[in-house]
Structure 1
Amino acid sequence: ISFSPDGTRLLSSSSNAPAQLWDPHTARPILSLEAHINLIEAASFSPDSRLLALGYYDGTVRLWDVSDGNCLAMFTEHTARVTHLVFSADGDILCSAGNDGGVYVRRLRDIL
């Protein structure tokens, strides 16, 4: 479970359902991120709260648009579960680390 930096979204997840974004002020669901159902191991909102990075047990990282629930990118470099995700302060860089010992750095302006 995680709040977006601006406090307008709350992320929840479970082992057998898609990740869900909620409005914490009304306690109502806003979006279901259904393109991928797998155990979420790591989550990070971008500093501007527009993007959500999720790291999964299967080693993938997916980047989601918080406004409409579209999956913008999928990264498959990790060979084991993703354990950590972090955005740079300006939101342009996304880093991931996993149980495979890998650390990957992605410049998002080159991808999006």
Structure 2
Amino acid sequence: MAALALTLVPVAGGATLDTTAVSATALGDTAPIGPGRFLYVFNGDATSKTVTIASPGTVSGVAIANVTVTVAAGKTACVPLTGLSRGADGRAAITYSAVTAVKVGAFELGR
């Protein structure tokens, strides 16, 4: 899995997310989690893609469901990177149904 770097979205001026995004990795990616952080996904392919963010924790012994988002062809999605997705390394583990023409980035809203 490749480690996505965190990019700050400044309060003044905004940011162009697609210019910072990188190609999704076939074996998946990891991203830092925390308040104001999110995964940006752009699907430039002709078919939809499913993005899965693992939720390895439990509540009272019951597994927390993974977060899955389907991104339609030519569309984008922003998915919060919350503490529910904290893996053993402190990062979220992200996988994709396919990576053809998929770009991703980890962002944090400026404070």
TM-score scaled by length of structure 2: 0.25
Using CA pairs below 8 Å that are at least 6 residues apart, which structure has the higher relative contact order? 2
- Which structure has more strand as a fraction of its residues? 1
TM-score scaled by length of structure 1: 0.25
